[in-house]
Amino acid sequence: MDFNECNKTNNLSTSNVDKSGDLSSSNSINFNFDEVNNRDNCFTRKWCGRSAIFGTSDVLPMWVADMDFKSPKCITDAIIERANHEIFGYTARPDTYDNAIINWLKNRHNLNITKDSIIYSPGVVTSLSIIVSSLSNVGDKIMILQPVYPPFAGVVTDNNRELVVSQLISNLDTKNSHQNTEYTSSNDENLVLEDNSNLNQAHPYSIDFDDIESKIKDVKLLILCNPHNPVGRVWTREELQRLGDICIKNDVTVISDEIHNDIIMSGNKHTSFASISEDFANISVTCMSPTKTFNLAGLQVSYIICKDIEKREKIQNEFSRLHLSDNNAFSLVALEASYNFGESWLDNMTQYIEKNFDFALDFINKNIPQIKTYKPESTYLMWLDFSDVSTCDDKISKALIEIGKIGLNSGANYGLGGECFYRLNIACPKETLVDGLNRIKKAVDYLIS
């Protein structure tokens, strides 16, 4: 069956969609990220899940990683057009779906892939778990770099594999003296130490390569967060090169979770691990999705890129065993519309996020100097160190919830190096951000009084 033909005859493709991604008209670019949207009435985890997480719904939710912004209009239009068809039977992916992914990765990430290297998945965490179960055996060692997104540890232990943790190096206490020392590999064998002081200025986190080398023997898989949630690093090409060289030497497969790859602050450049070389593409499996980029997590759509045929077959077999293969009907058109027409919205949204980061950093430095933090290079998440505010116990969480009436993610869930940290989601209108920061200040004032 020709699904493109099917699309054409049934008029279900995204070809009629407003290409501007605009919120108001097809010609004028008029994105409105200042609009405060009520999300309290539509089954949203961030808003409607407050009582379950914080014990009260009386908190401003600035936790789970989705945005309080509306998705671009090109996506909503595509979904409405699909809904108007009024038949929601089983789905099949048209070539235009794969082409949208291929073009996005080529144009935005310099990653050249073929259609057969794409594996569909409903979500990145699902992918991580399936890749772990298909590329390793019970009891195998799997390395992660903490503090990191909590499901990284979960997919290892839930699959009865052994967790090996390397803690990121942090010099948040001494961030002004950060040297920005990087390693490069001018050819694949000789590592050269050089000063990259123009890169990742003042970012306090880096990879502890010596620690990784001391622990990597017998490790089967390394799960990399690239860019990194929660610390907000965009790993440089040189850092990835050094990490990949260690993995090649030790026969370790890299699972590169690149879900945050599209939201990059100015002055930084995301490097897809697999784009570095043929060898890196062959030893890696990459997980990606438009869901963070365009705020589509509730549509459940993502994909895996795997060049190596043997690994790909193992992963694909595991998806087949679990009978996980079909897209949700709305996710099909949403992915296509977002990658084909959403770029301008994304660029504007990223600028808004960057302004929010700058504002929040300035606010915290001036008004809550007890909290140590910095401007992330990617994501829309700030990583706040409360260790100068109070002793690291549940006093801080209680004050945030009961005095500040704000819901943040507790860093303790992110593993080693997360104790005493809280994660703040700034993907919201400025008005909401100001409210949230004042609530954090109120809690801190209470704790230090």
Ligand X SMILES: Cc1ncc(COP(=O)(O)O)c(C=O)c1O
Report the residue closest to ligand X, judged by CB.
Answer: 123
Q: Concatenate the DSSP letters of all residues of 259-273 into one string.
A: TTTT-B-TT-----G
Q: Rounded to 5 degrees, what are φ and ψ at 380?
A: -125, 40
Whole-angstrom Cα distance, residue 125 to residue 122? 9
Please select the residue that binds ligand X; options are 129, 229, 340, 348, rule is CB under 6 A.
Answer: 229
Residue 20 binds ligand X, judged by CB under 6 A:
no
Residue 125 binds ligand X, judged by CB under 6 A:
yes
* CB nearer ligand X, residue 225 or residue 281: 225
Burial class (CB in 10 A: 0-12, 13-18, 19+), 285: buried
Indicate the helix (H) or strand (E) that contains 147.
none
- Cα separations in angstroms, 132 against 8, 172, 325, 412: 39, 32, 18, 24
Show the site string, 299-318: x = touches ligand X by CB under 6 A, - = not.
---x----------------
Measured from the CB of residue 185, what is the shortest distance to ligand X in angstroms? 26
Stretch that binds ligand X, among 40-48, 119-127, 206-214, 387-395 (CB under 6 A): 119-127
* CB nearer ligand X, residue 13 or residue 126: 126
Whole-angstrom Cα distance, residue 380 to residue 354? 8
Length of the chain: 449
- Inter-residue long-range contacts of 16-20, CB under 8 Å, 24+ positions, other chains counted: 16/77, 16/81, 17/74, 17/77, 17/78, 17/81, 17/337, 17/340, 17/341, 18/73, 18/74, 18/77, 18/341, 19/74, 19/340, 19/341, 20/73, 20/74, 20/341, 20/344
* CB nearer ligand X, residue 65 or residue 252: 65
Question: Which residue, 429, 314, 444, 296, is CA-closest to 366?
Answer: 444
Stretch that binds ligand X, among 5-13, 166-174, 213-221, 289-297 (CB under 6 A): 289-297
Whole-angstrom Cα distance, residue 222 to residue 233? 17
Measured from the CB of residue 96, what is the shortest distance to ligand X in angstroms? 22
Measured from the CB of residue 447, what is the shortest distance to ligand X in angstroms? 28
* CB nearer ligand X, residue 20 or residue 229: 229
Whole-angstrom Cα distance, residue 208 to residue 334? 39
Size of the site for ligand X (CB under 6 A): 13
Residue 149 binds ligand X, judged by CB under 6 A:
yes
Residue 406 binds ligand X, judged by CB under 6 A:
no
Residue 350 binds ligand X, judged by CB under 6 A:
no
Please select the residue that binds ligand X; options are 17, 53, 59, 65, rule is CB under 6 A.
Answer: 65
Whole-angstrom Cα distance, residue 428 to residue 31? 14
Q: Which residue has the tokens 């803690």?
A: 167
* CB nearer ligand X, residue 124 or residue 243: 124
* CB nearer ligand X, residue 13 or residue 129: 129
Stretch that binds ligand X, among 122-130, 176-184, 243-251, 314-322 (CB under 6 A): 122-130
Please select the residue that binds ligand X; options are 67, 130, 172, 297, rule is CB under 6 A.
Answer: 297
In the complex, the residues that contact ligand X under the rule CB under 6 A are: 65, 123-125, 149, 225, 229, 257, 259, 289, 291, 297, 302
